[in-house]
Amino acid sequence: MVIGRINEGTSGFTKFPEAIRTALHFLHEQDFKNMEDGVYPIDGKNSYAILQRYNTRIPDSAKPEAHRQYVDIQYIVDGQEELGWCPLNPELREHTKYDIDKDIIFYERLVPGSSVILREGYFAVLYPADVHRPCGAVNGESEPVTKVVVKIAVDYIK
């Protein structure tokens, strides 16, 4: 997992692969606060953004997840949330089998568990080895969040 600030712009994104740099520039250039929830193409099925608004939830009420076909970039437009994380490892216990059509697998819990707070303007790049639990309420207090999740096909990253 890599965490950064979106306004680091051109100076901060130079070490990422081109597909991730393109997605970060896309995130930096949009006015998501004035856009409708939905899917926005960046490069067809290779890279696209999902704008969503929701209320955060008690972190332990959700199951950690991972993806195999896509890298996630989770970007907080407005609000804040706790993002739970652990590396993919043999100690994790599956909650549900991998769904190839939805590119998602759920685990019982994070092992070992850690978390970060993503605030407005921050993003996290999550690779297939990053098991994560998004949408967590900071200090157990639910609040509204506007977030964009960019999906980038693993095969598209060079």
User: In terms of pTM, does the model score above 0.85?
Assistant: yes
Delineate the domains of the chain, giving CATH numbers in brackets: 2-156 (2.60.120.370)
CA–CA separation, 65 and 139 (whole Å): 21
Distance set, CA 113 to CA 83, 116, 130, 131 (Å):
11, 11, 12, 10
Q: Walk along the chain (158 residues) and give the pLDDT tens digit of each residue.
A: 999 999 886 566 788 899 999 999 999 999 999 999 999 999 988 999 999 999 999 988 999 999 999 999 999 999 999 999 999 999 999 999 999 999 999 999 999 999 999 999 999 999 999 999 999 999 999 999 999 999 999 999 97
Q: How far apart are CA 21 and CA 27, in angstroms?
A: 10
d(CA 117, CA 80): 7
